[in-house]
């Protein structure tokens, strides 16, 4: 009797916790549905989700003695039923009331989950809000439900489509999971110790076989438990739309939040750690970025702002970009604040690039909020966000076009997650390499390889392919075997280039749980973290891309987003800033070269360079290339630094002594008096600096016989922006540029500015450049002036001129 | 207001850390070196399946390395800073004592490196000790990220 009673009570407890868990699960989905439904009240599907939620809560309340919850959900259910049948139409007041009900249900259920009694209070306010303007409902809602007569659970509403069957799941406390994780690690270590004993003693084969079975089971256990820790980013994303909606309402703004990439899986811990930074960035974007609807309309934007969160996983990094189309960031105001806060000196300002100025937003004590709002501007800001991201071994930076919005790029190591890896040995060290990079493994002693040296780089000929080959020992500055006695990993780098990395030995395939390391170690850009092996020893996980960059195997990817420098508040005319490289030539002159033309930097042995002013050449990667800038008598030192310039079809080398800096320059170029290597002068930090004329260099040095493109594009070269910006871009896309003023009668493409008269030329295609960013409805042939990608795409999609 | 401090020996001096800043005191026997890491980082070690970054405090102070053979266990104070745990290598550990919260100025002559890490001189039963902060040992030469 007693036994059965306690059994029954226990079962009730289980039921209650199941109810609480189920409600919480549904809440997340409902939050999203609510926001979507509010945006589009005709969205029947979302309304159904909300109805089902309330219906389920109401039905469940019947089992438990929860009169308050039962009453509230009952009224909400009736209201929603009326909405579904069209008896009532959703207005803002009603939607707010429904949202408030869902919140209240959330509060109550959370309290139950904490084992508390339901909070005291009345829901009359919400019930009244739902019933206001309601055609009097059938009684029951007004009369308090007596606690001792809980309503019977209703049958499933036949109108509600039944829920899809979900996979069975249970919930576990995270601490328990962590304990299980560390216990399994210990079990593995003990297993390995046992394995040594098993090897050392001649054991009964039956015992050894049993041990092997145990060993395999432990391996499987460990894999499964590792999987338990993985979580889809959706878990974080589902909560955001509601937050954004509430905040936008509070601020009187309109905004649409778009999210993609929720299917990316990350370690649970990382997801928890990036939650706050992302929420903070969103709040900032809403508070300071997105303008009030009327201000947006005034500046020619749609009244509702856009915030996009995009997530991408590449190798073992996860990139999250949060983009808004608000008013952007006022770099000059940041500078002012930084000056008054003593973060920078007056003398620093002239040397700061636009990116540097924007970067000030991450400094402690800077807040651009003119007044402290309840949302942001309380001095705790982006500096904390940056610190958190850095501690995860990630990076964060920001780009912004004044008036056009801001974009925050976060790159995180997905390191806490399990990375399928190869372990390799060099000297006494062991390292891990993400398996995703390794295309193939070959022993250097194999007959199919032939090595050759050019300049200071080793090439390996492998199945008809020639690959650059580096020793990991060199890259890490540790002793290791000579290349000829190594194992080679053929590694596929970002961008698809293959290269070979020589290690003493490739040891094993392992799944490694990589943990980030201290910043002082991460800063070297050689490692993504470290992982514990089964025997308790540590391996460092290599940052393949970082190493390839340092070894000059790939060129630094250049962010070519244009930035604007605003002169001052009166003169808000945007001025284009062009990314450029400041270098010292072999003769020691300061010169600038546009970043667009630079493909990469290479170092070669001096003896691979043939000097001279006319026919200088350099041997690089097994090719002989024409070399410009080599009008000197001798190279100082053993190595020469070569800047590789490309125009999309041919490459030339330019001899320099070093790269000084990457800068941005304006387009107010003072043309040089005569055609030649120097295109003209620009002012850089108050100094007139010569800009290399890559165009002329290609014409002069690119190998004769290189087929010139037959595709033509007509531009209005009378316009300065077209000359300085558009022309190199169009040429880079493989077109020969014709000047509209010369009156050509035929071309493949013509590019005109919106509002200017149609070109007189008979072009197969006309691309129109608009000054405003068209609202996502850009046709193929109308492109925003600063949308480089769209423009290149439009150029690539050209239609053949029918002969 | 008294609080416990931990007394140890480092580069020939008696030093102290506030005990609340330390997670534990451990003996480290195996250190995995990290190629091309900063000079003051001795390497990594593991403690209860956690990875610790081992800091060579002598190098931070610019004094000669202690004379230890490869596998000899070394004493270290474990510190949590940000999201990571660090092990600060010490020459010898003494004890945890109560401290009355009084500090005296560090008199000159200890050298700039010591002055950067020291907070003051504290009097303890065993004599004076230099009270050190842990942060300077961890944030060595961290360039503010541009």
Please name the residue that has the structure tokens 């071309």: A747
Asked if B44 reaches chain A (Cβ–Cβ under 8 Å), the answer is yes
The radius of gyration of chain B's CA atoms, rounded to the nearest angstrom, is: 15
Mean pLDDT comparison of A222-231, A317-326, A793-802, highest-scoring range: A317-326
Residue A16's Cβ-count burial label (10 Å; 0-12, 13-18, 19+) is: middle
Give the nearest partner residue to A532 out of B46, B138, B140, using CB atoms.
Answer: B46
Report CA-CA distances (Å) from A795 to A687, A728, A749, A798.
37, 13, 8, 6
Chain B nearest C-alpha distance from A643 (Å)? 25
Q: Which residues are bridge partners to B74 per DSSP?
A: B28
Please, where are the H alpha helices in chain B?
57-61, 112-117, 135-138
Are A530 and B51 an interchain contact pair (Cβ–Cβ within 8 Å)? yes
Structure confidence at residue A154 as a pLDDT band (50, 70, 90): very low
Confidence of residue B141 (pLDDT cuts 50, 70, 90): low
Q: Percent of chain A, pLDDT > 70?
A: 78
What is the structure's pLDDT at A667?
Answer: 62
pLDDT digits 0-9 by tens, B69-96:
767 889 999 998 877 899 999 999 988 9
Q: What is the mean pLDDT of chain A?
A: 75
Closest by Cβ to B49, choosing from A185, A523, A540:
A185
Question: In this predicted structure, what is the pLDDT of residue A477?
Answer: 93
Q: How confident is the model at residue B36 (pLDDT cuts 50, 70, 90)?
A: very high
Specify whether the CB–CB gap between B6 and B88 falls below 8 A: no
Q: Is the pLDDT of residue A571 over 50?
A: no
Tokens for A787, please give them. Answer: 């949308």
SS3 labels along A731-786: HHCCCEEEEHHHCCCEEEEEEEECCCCCCCCEEEEEEEEECCCCCCCCCCCEEECC
| A664 touches A353 (CB < 8 A) | yes
pTM for the whole structure:
0.42
Q: Is A517 exposed, middle or buried (0-12, 13-18, 19+ CB in 10 A)?
A: buried
The CA-based dihedral angle spanning residues A343, A349, A353, A355, taken in that order and rounded to the nearest 10 degrees: 30
Asked if the C-beta of B20 comes within 8 angstroms of chain A's C-beta atoms, the answer is no
Mutation to test the A interface, candidates B37, B48, B80, most A Cβ within 10 Å: B37
* Model confidence pLDDT, tens digit, residues A2-33: 444 444 445 556 667 777 777 877 887 788 88
- Report the DSSP beta bridge partners of residue A267: A230
In total, the C-beta contacts within 8 angstroms joining chain A to chain B are 71
**Beta strands B13-18; B127-132: pairing state:** parallel
How remote is the C-alpha of A165 from its chain's centroid? 34
Alpha-carbon gap: B118 to the closest alpha carbon of chain A (Å): 22
Give yes or no for B62 touching A (CB within 8 A). Answer: no
Helix or strand holding residue A111 (H, E): helix A92-113
pLDDT value, residue B78: 94
- CB-nearest to B41 from A520, A536, A538 is A520
Among A167-171, A420-424, A480-484, A710-714, the minimum mean pLDDT is found in A167-171
A467 vs A452: CA distance, rounded Å = 10
Q: Taking residues A358-372, what's their average pLDDT?
A: 67
Q: What average pLDDT does the segment A233-261 reach?
A: 87
Q: Which residues pair with residue A506 across a beta bridge?
A: A424
Sign of CA dihedral A653, A659, A662, A663: negative
Per the CB < 8 A criterion, the answer to whether A554 and A495 are in contact is: yes
């Amino acid at each position: 009797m007693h036994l059965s009673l306690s059994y029954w009570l226990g079962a009730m407890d289980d039921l209650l916790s199941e109810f609480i868990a189920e409600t919480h699960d549904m809440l997340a989905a409902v939050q999203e549905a609510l926001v979507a439904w509010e945006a589009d009240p005709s969205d029947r599907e979302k309304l159904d989700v909300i109805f089902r939620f309330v219906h389920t809560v109401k039905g469940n309340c019947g089992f438990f003695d929860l009169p308050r919850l039962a009453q509230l959900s009952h009224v909400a259910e009736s209201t929603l039923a009326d909405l579904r049948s069209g008896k009532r139409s959703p207005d803002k007041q009603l939607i707010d009331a429904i949202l408030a009900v869902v919140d209240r249900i959330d509060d109550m259920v959370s309290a139950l989950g904490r084992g508390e009694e339901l909070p005291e209070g009345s829901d009359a306010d919400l019930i009244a809000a739902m019933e206001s303007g309601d055609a009097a409902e059938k009684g029951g809602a007004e009369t308090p439900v007596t606690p001792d007569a809980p309503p019977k659970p209703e049958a499933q509403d036949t109108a509600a489509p039944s829920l899809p069957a979900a996979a069975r799941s249970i919930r576990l406390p995270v601490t328990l999971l962590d304990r299980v994780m560390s216990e399994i690690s210990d079990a593995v270590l003990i297993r390995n110790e046992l394995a040594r004993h098993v090897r050392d003693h001649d054991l009964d084969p039956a015992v050894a076989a049993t041990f092997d079975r145990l060993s395999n089971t432990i391996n499987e256990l460990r894999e499964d438990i590792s999987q338990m820790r993985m979580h889809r980013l959706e878990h974080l994303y589902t909560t955001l739309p509601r937050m954004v909606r509430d905040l936008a309402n509070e601020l009187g703004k309109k905004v649409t939040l778009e999210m993609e990439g929720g299917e990316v899986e990350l370690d649970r811990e990382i997801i928890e750690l990036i939650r706050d930074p992302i929420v903070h960035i969103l709040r900032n974007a809403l508070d300071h970025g997105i303008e009030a609807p009327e201000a947006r309309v005034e500046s020619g934007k749609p009244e509702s702002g856009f915030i996009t969160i995009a997530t991408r996983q590449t190798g073992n990094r996860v990139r999250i970009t949060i983009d808004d189309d608000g008013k952007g960031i006022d770099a000059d105001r940041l500078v002012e604040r930084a000056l008054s806060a003593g973060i920078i000196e007056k003398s620093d300002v002239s040397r700061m690039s636009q990116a540097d100025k924007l970067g000030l937003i991450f400094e402690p004590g800077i807040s651009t909020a003119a007044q402290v709002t309840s949302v942001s501007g309380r001095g705790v800001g982006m500096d904390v966000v940056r610190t958190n991201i850095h501690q995860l071994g990630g990076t964060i930076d920001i780009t912004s076009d004044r008036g056009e919005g801001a974009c925050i790029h976060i790159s995180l190591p997905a390191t806490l997650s399990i990375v399928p890896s190869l372990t390799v040995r060099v000297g006494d060290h062991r390292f891990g390499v993400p398996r995703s990079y390794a295309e193939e493994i070959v022993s250097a002693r194999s007959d199919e390889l032939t090595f050759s040296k050019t300049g200071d780089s080793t090439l390996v000929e492998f199945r008809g392919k020639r690959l650059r080959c580096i020793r990991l020992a060199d890259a890490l500055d540790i002793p290791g075997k000579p290349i000829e006695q190594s194992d080679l990993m053929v590694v596929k780098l970002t961008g698809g280039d293959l290269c070979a990395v020589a290690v003493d030995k490739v040891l094993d395939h392992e799944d490694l749980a990589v943990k980030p390391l201290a910043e002082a170690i991460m800063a070297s850009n050689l490692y993504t973290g470290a992982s514990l092996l089964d025997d308790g020893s540590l391996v460092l996980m290599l940052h393949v891309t970082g190493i390839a960059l340092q070894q000059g195997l790939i060129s630094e990817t250049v962010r070519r987003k244009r930035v604007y420098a605003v002169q001052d508040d009166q003169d808000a005319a945007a001025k284009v800033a062009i990314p450029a490289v400041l270098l010292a030539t072999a003769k020691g002159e300061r010169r600038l070269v546009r970043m667009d033309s630079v493909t990469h930097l290479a170092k070669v042995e001096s003896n691979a360079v043939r000097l001279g002013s006319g026919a200088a050449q350099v041997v690089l990667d097994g090719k002989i290339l024409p070399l410009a800038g080599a009008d000197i008598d001798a190279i100082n030192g053993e190595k020469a630094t070569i800047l590789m310039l490309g125009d999309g079809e041919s490459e030339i080398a330019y001899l320099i002594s070093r790269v000084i800096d990457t800068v941005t320059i304006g387009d107010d170029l003072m043309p040089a008096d005569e055609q030649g290597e120097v295109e003209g002068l620009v002012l850089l930090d108050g100094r007139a600096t010569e800009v290399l004329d890559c165009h002329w260099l290609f014409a002069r040095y690119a190998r004769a016989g290189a087929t010139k493109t037959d595709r033509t594009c007509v531009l209005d070269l009378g316009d300065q922006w077209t000359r300085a910006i558009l022309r190199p871009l169009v040429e880079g896309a493989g077109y020969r540029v014709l000047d509209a003023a010369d009156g050509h009668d035929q071309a493949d493409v013509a590019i005109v500015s919106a509002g200017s008269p149609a070109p007189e030329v008979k072009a197969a295609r006309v691309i129109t450049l608009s000054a405003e960013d068209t609202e996502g409805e850009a046709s193929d042939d109308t492109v925003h002036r600063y949308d480089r990608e769209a423009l290149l795409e439009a150029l690539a999609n050209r239609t053949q001129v029918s002969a | 207001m008294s609080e416990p401090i931990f007394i140890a020996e480092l580069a020939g001096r008696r030093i102290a850390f506030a005990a609340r800043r330390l997670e534990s005191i451990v003996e480290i026997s195996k250190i995995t070196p990290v190629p091309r890491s900063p000079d003051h980082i001795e390497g990594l070690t593991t403690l209860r399946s956690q990875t610790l970054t081992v800091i060579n405090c002598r190098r931070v102070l610019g004094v000669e390395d202690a004379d230890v053979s490869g596998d000899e266990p070394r004493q270290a104070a474990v510190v949590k800073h940000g999201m990571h745990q660090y092990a600060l290598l010490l020459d010898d550990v003494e004890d945890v004592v109560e401290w009355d919260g009084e500090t005296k100025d560090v008199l000159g002559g200890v050298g700039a490196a010591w002055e950067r890490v020291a907070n003051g001189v504290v009097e303890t039963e065993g004599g004076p000790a230099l009270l050190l902060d842990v942060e300077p040992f961890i944030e060595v030469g961290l360039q503010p990220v541009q």
